[in-house]
Structure 1
């Protein structure tokens, strides 16, 4: 299952870099406009990790755990439609063993609360995560302390963290490194920055 899924994973793009992976203690971010597929891309990354038998925590700031879980089912269905040979029972079993979903809705997200949850999962459920997916963080309005807190979690818990960032068509601001809004002021926190863009022939993922 791992080999067949790896062929369609967004992380395959990292094989072209000297790093080859994000790595524990580091953060990566995926930039895209609304509706382009940020969440779907993050879930592809999550499934790549899960199918490697790694423990993953999906942190949603906008959707309930049930809604988030349904996105995984949709991605799975798409893979089946595209004739990726994945056994459904094996998939379900792997997901149940290796994924936990946390939801912080109505602006309740705080890195201290997240750190407490991670500690509890490790100590009480023997679930020390290898990877965190953080979907829905408002980069435009997030204070710098949020990114500092996530960086501390990445290093303190020795996890890699993937985030999504919402861009806008009408905002073309970039910093001196060519990193676009809304990551232009916080790019120093990220070891890998990727962007989803649309074109006449489809959706494209590129490293920045």
Structure 2
């Protein structure tokens, strides 16, 4: 029951999506926000849900060490466990750890051919077969459209969805159709775009592309003092214990 309760708290389901798997095979999703608003925290919660549903997640971190990524997962999961009054965490970690693989790149060292080579090595050696990929910290403003077209080809070849964190800037006006500038020229490659928007004392979670059916949309917010997801029925669900997660 504890595992089912954690899965029920998936933030995408809480937004009103009919399923946790909002991206098709080979699809792209973007989680956008300014620095310090909680993109990584939200991304990790999506990953934990996938892991607890016995799926393999490849987490690619740009310019962050493996140890820090591991700490995000531990903090997020401990917060979720606390909110669900789960005292014995070992059985859950036994599910999560074998299904999670963390890969890191320096910004200058990231390229699609290198990523594809690493994934091929892992699969050919029978080490890891990803069923979802997360790319956290890729500087969109420094990458041309070709990078994302090539990543799209990788996602389709593998048959896996890819979620990205996308850093936006307060001073930038939205591009065509209200899409934040980093996605404005590659919007067609993305199936879902979700933005974390600070307003007053809260941070609201809103889909600006590929949202749930209009009749099912639920307003979801993060408490900026705790970075916890506020459940529509009033209680709070942790998104992260680390407010500095980007």
Fold match by TM threshold 0.5 = yes
- Matched with 1:54 is 55
Report which stretch shifted further, 131-140 or 165-174. Answer: 165-174
Matches within 5 A, 1:128-139: 128-139=129-140
Shift in CA distance, 154/172, structure 1 to aligned 2, threshold 3 Å: same
Q: CA deviation at 1:15?
A: 4.3
1:104-154 C-alpha deviation (Å, 9 max, x unpaired): 014211111111111111111342111000000101111212101110111
Matched, 1:81 2:82: yes
Matched, 1:195 2:185: no
CA contact (8 A) 2:58 2:100 kept: yes
Matches within 5 A, 1:53-72: 53-72=54-73
TM-score (norm 1): 0.92
1:6-34 C-alpha deviation (Å, 9 max, x unpaired): 23322215643699621211110111000
**Root-mean-square deviation over aligned CA pairs:** 1.9
- Matched with 2:141 is 140
Aligned residue pair count? 207
- Matched with 1:22 is 23
Shift in CA distance, 86/3, structure 1 to aligned 2, threshold 3 Å: farther
Gaps of 5+ in 1: none
Q: Distance in 1 between matches of 2:43 and 2:188?
A: 21
- Matched with 1:9 is 10
Shift in CA distance, 62/134, structure 1 to aligned 2, threshold 3 Å: same
CA contact (8 A) 1:2 1:52 kept: no
Shift in CA distance, 94/180, structure 1 to aligned 2, threshold 3 Å: same
CA contact (8 A) 1:165 1:182 kept: yes
CA contact (8 A) 1:2 1:48 kept: no
